[in-house]
Amino acid sequence: MGTAGDSNRRLCESSNPVDVQSLFLTYTLDVASEFFFGHCVGGLDKLVQQCDGASAEANADIVENDITGEELTKAFAEAQEVLAKRIKMGTPWALFELRGNKMTQPVETVKKFIRPLVDKAYKRQSTRPAANAIRPRGSLLDHLINSLDSREAIEDELINILVAARDTTASALTFCIYCMTLYPDVMEQLRAEVRKQPGGHVRSNSDLKDLRYMHCFISEVLRLYPPVPMNIRRSATEVVLKGSPPLYMPAHTSIILATLLMQRSKAVWGEDAEEFKPERWQTGEGYDQFKNGGSIPFSTGPRTCLGQNFALMQIKYVLARLLKALDNSSDAGGKATESRTIVPVKSGTSAGAPPPVAWSFLKGRGREEQAWVMSDLTLQVKGGLWIRILATPDTTHTNDTI
């Protein structure tokens, strides 16, 4: 995750508007591709090179095939949009694609990226040591090749995991920054906690575990803005769901779980359910409700997200590095500058989409939103989450910040 530190530094040294949602999607794709394939897409490297004035052409073929990181990102977005529409339409979705399967092109683009990496992994396997020899640790791809006989199954599994790892973590990071801009006092508490670390640095998993207020902050962000706001489950056999009253489900029946609504329910969290209060996780209230199923951002039961701990580690690491970078910024000449802070850029035609006017008449959390929160498969900000990094206290750019 070393390049994340370089990107944080570049971000903090510039006062230009930045879409952090797009930045986080690039970062999580880099991390996921390196962890799963043993080969990083290199999107953040390219961004840093551009900031340094280096030629982008030197990085254009970093994936060692015909698919660039930008094309891969676009394909993921198109595939998710198609899949989201199919889910909303239900079983008759095929009637709306009689002229052709709209998923074919984006999936083929992703597979064009994956195939050379799978070829390379198979080649490594052909030269592997004897069964009783000590083997070097491999990537997830290497382990899949050892476990599965079907190449098609390996490719499909990689796509499935890559989508899950990239978009959900990027969504969580985006809304962490969003909540920091909404609640500057909370951001200051997070900064203070990072400063208390030895030397002000967070270098190990043990250091990340010491960031207890940050863990409470992330838990509250995930409660109000779960990366997967809606899920679907289907009964394999007839079943009676416990509740008051009990709910009977015939076999092969689909049920929609509106995670976002469940986690904002006043029946579970009380009258302040829609308020942003990280401290509820300090008192034990949050964890009591978490155990009772009141907050399930990573799902629950046998289908709990396998990457939960890895995702939380990523989120903490990036936030800690960013907050640290705010206190250690420098200008173009390398001279240290005063402390900086994150300021949201006012939504508009050039920077994201403002929330619908009708939201201002809603009760509860809807009227407080400063950006258009939407969802295809994962929760996101329409048009991107645009911010500036400005010196504190700041009196400039007051005409275009919230």
Output DSSP code: residue 198: G
Average pLDDT over residues 321-350: 69
396, pLDDT greater than 60: no
Where residue 373 sits, what CATH number does that domain have? 1.10.630.10
Cα angle 66, 42, 166; round to 5: 95
68, pLDDT greater than 60: yes
pLDDT in tens, 316-330: 999 999 998 888 654
36, pLDDT greater than 90: no
Domain count, the chain: 1
247 C-beta neighbours (distance < 10 Å), count: 11
Are residues 327 and 191 in contact, defined by beta-carbon separation less than 8 angstroms? yes
The answer to whether position 294 is within a domain reads yes
Q: Is 305 annotated as a binding residue?
A: yes
The answer to whether position 77 is within a domain reads yes
335, pLDDT greater than 70: no
The pTM (predicted TM-score) of the whole model is 0.84
State the pLDDT confidence band at 65, using cuts at 50, 70 and 90. low
Gap between the Cα atoms of 266 and 306, Å rounded? 29
Q: Which is more confidently placed, 86 or 397?
A: 86
Query: Which of 59, 58, 68, 73 has the alpha carbon at shortest distance from 27?
Result: 73
181, pLDDT greater than 90: yes
126, pLDDT greater than 70: yes
The answer to whether position 387 is within a domain reads yes
CA distances from 27 to 2, 23, 34, 69, 321 (A): 11, 6, 11, 11, 14
58, pLDDT greater than 70: no
Gap between the Cα atoms of 390 and 402, Å rounded? 13
Question: Does 393 sit behind a cis peptide bond, omega within 30 degrees of 0 on the bond before it?
Answer: yes
The answer to whether position 402 is within a domain reads no
The answer to whether position 239 is within a domain reads yes
State the pLDDT confidence band at 121, using cuts at 50, 70 and 90. confident
The answer to whether position 396 is within a domain reads no
Considering Cα of 355, then 359, then 360, then 365, what sign does the dihedral take?
negative
pLDDT in tens, 223-260: 999 999 988 888 899 999 887 789 899 998 888 889 99
Gap between the Cα atoms of 326 and 340, Å rounded? 5
- pLDDT score for 401: 44
- pLDDT score for 160: 83
The answer to whether position 323 is within a domain reads yes
Ranking 54-58, 106-110, 305-309 by mean pLDDT, the lowest is: 54-58
Output DSSP code: residue 184: H
Residue 38, sorted as left (phi over 0), alpha (psi -120 to 50) or beta, turns out to be left
Give the residue numbers spanning the domain of 74: 2-391
The answer to whether position 400 is within a domain reads no
